[in-house]
Amino acid sequence: MKIAVVGATGLVGGKMLQVLEEQNVKTDELLVAASEHSVGKELLFQGDKLKVVSVEDAIAASPEIAIFSAGAAASKTYAPRFAGKGAFVIDNSSAWRMDERVPLVVPEINADVISRDSRIIANPNCSTIQMVMALAPLHKAFGIKRLVVSTYQSVSGSGMKGLRQLALEERGKTAEPPAYPHPIHHNVLPQGGDFNADGYTSEEQKLIDETRKILRAPHIAITATAVRVPVVGGHSEAVNVEFENPFELFMVRNLLQAMPGVVVQDDPSSCQYPMAIEAYDKDEVFVGRIRRDFSVENGLNLWIVSDNIRKGAATNAVQIATYLIAHFFKQ
């Protein structure tokens, strides 16, 4: 088993290496690849120093699995070349997510869409992953009619640039070039990604399109507002759900508690609810503030928090890799 991590020197790539090590994913060889200016650098993995190789060298090595976190442009260029040499490609960018031929996978929900012929598999957007982890069992039980989503996304969602801008501004300095069009320290930006012609942003559109694809429910009405907040790590979401069918709150809690990877934190009397500061560097999706929306029939409010770099990116990708190893390779 030979695995390549493409984009290994980046924020998510580094976390992928950490999660591969934590989960003790068995590999005969691990290739760490990045852009040309990083070739030759050394990265630590399981106590060993691994030299960064070029993407071309990684392709030539013919890995069985290639995990990408190198951006959409690099993925469009190189993912088909890895796949052409027989590799399964797990891509963390937006490049392939809405391609009808490419599975968009959260393993706890829809790993069954992966087949031996699925040579490119898309990792969903971070904010989508945590939301559907909570919504999938509820949709199966009650049928989701409409979603209204507001996200409160940390600066780590913008990679090293976002973290750098916040850190510099906290010290009274200015980031050049900035990750955002305005200061993020002591501020809240109602913009996630770039604006589309209809006034929605790319982050908002991902929530809409990807949720429908993962839940296999193109009929769900969804509207979203993505907001960037001055938090280092962990995305938070206020999710309003309107179901097709009636529900009881105890049913909702039972379904969420039974969902693998979901932790319910919901005790208003002791001020217990999910917070980004506590979700940081954890793999679980935390759900709280579970309450009825009395303004509509069959309405529900949820507060969903998760570490966007772990379950929202690296951990989900590694989970896909372990699924592939278990189902398509002899042990």
The mean pLDDT value of the chain amounts to: 97
Q: Is the pLDDT of residue 133 over 90?
A: yes
Amino acid in position 292: R
Residues with Cβ within 8 Å of 40's Cβ and at least 6 positions away in sequence, in order, are: 51, 52
Instruction: Provide the CATH number for the domain around residue 304.
Output: 3.30.360.10
Predicted confidence at residue 169, as pLDDT, reads: 98
Amino acid in position 76: K
Q: What digits encode the pLDDT tens for the residues 248-274?
A: 999 999 999 999 999 999 999 999 999
In whole angstroms, what is the distance from residue 314 CA to residue 211 CA?
19
271 has catalytic annotation = no
> CB–CB of 119/65 below 8 Å?
no
In whole angstroms, what is the distance from residue 127 CA to residue 157 CA?
9
Asked if 103 and 177 sit in the same domain, the reply is no
In whole angstroms, what is the distance from residue 20 CA to residue 43 CA?
14
In whole angstroms, what is the distance from residue 172 CA to residue 21 CA?
37
Asked if 146 and 9 sit in the same domain, the reply is no
Q: What digits encode the pLDDT tens for the residues 146-166?
A: 999 999 999 999 999 999 999
List beta partners, residue 32: 5
> Which position among 126, 139, 185, 327 bears the catalytic label?
126
In whole angstroms, what is the distance from residue 116 CA to residue 91 CA?
16
In whole angstroms, what is the distance from residue 189 CA to residue 303 CA?
20
Predicted confidence at residue 163, as pLDDT, reads: 97
In whole angstroms, what is the distance from residue 119 CA to residue 88 CA?
5
Asked if 243 and 139 sit in the same domain, the reply is yes
Q: What digits encode the pLDDT tens for the residues 312-323?
A: 999 999 999 999
Asked if 236 and 276 sit in the same domain, the reply is yes
SS3 assignment, position 149? strand
Asked if 138 and 269 sit in the same domain, the reply is yes
What are the angstrom distances between the C-alpha of 309 and each of 19, 140, 183? 11, 27, 22
Of 303, 327, 325, 315, whose CA–CA distance to 129 is shortest? 315
Asked if 87 and 177 sit in the same domain, the reply is no
Instruction: Provide the CATH number for the domain around residue 104.
Output: 3.40.50.720
Asked if 156 and 231 sit in the same domain, the reply is yes
Asked if 189 and 103 sit in the same domain, the reply is no
Q: What digits encode the pLDDT tens for the residues 178-216?
A: 999 999 999 999 999 999 999 999 999 999 999 999 999
Binned at pLDDT 50, 70 and 90, residue 330 comes out as confident
Residues with Cβ within 8 Å of 39's Cβ and at least 6 positions away in sequence, in order, are: 52, 53, 54
Domain with 47, as residue range(s), is 2-124+313-328
Binned at pLDDT 50, 70 and 90, residue 331 comes out as low
Asked if 138 and 113 sit in the same domain, the reply is no
Q: What digits encode the pLDDT tens for the residues 15-53?
A: 999 999 999 998 999 999 999 999 999 999 998 999 999
Asked if 41 and 75 sit in the same domain, the reply is yes
Structural domains of the chain, count? 2
Asked if 252 and 319 sit in the same domain, the reply is no
> Which position among 185, 235, 271, 327 bears the catalytic label?
235
Q: What digits encode the pLDDT tens for the residues 269-320?
A: 999 999 999 999 999 999 999 999 999 999 999 999 999 999 999 999 999 9
In whole angstroms, what is the distance from residue 310 CA to residue 73 CA?
22
Asked if 181 and 83 sit in the same domain, the reply is no
126 has catalytic annotation = yes
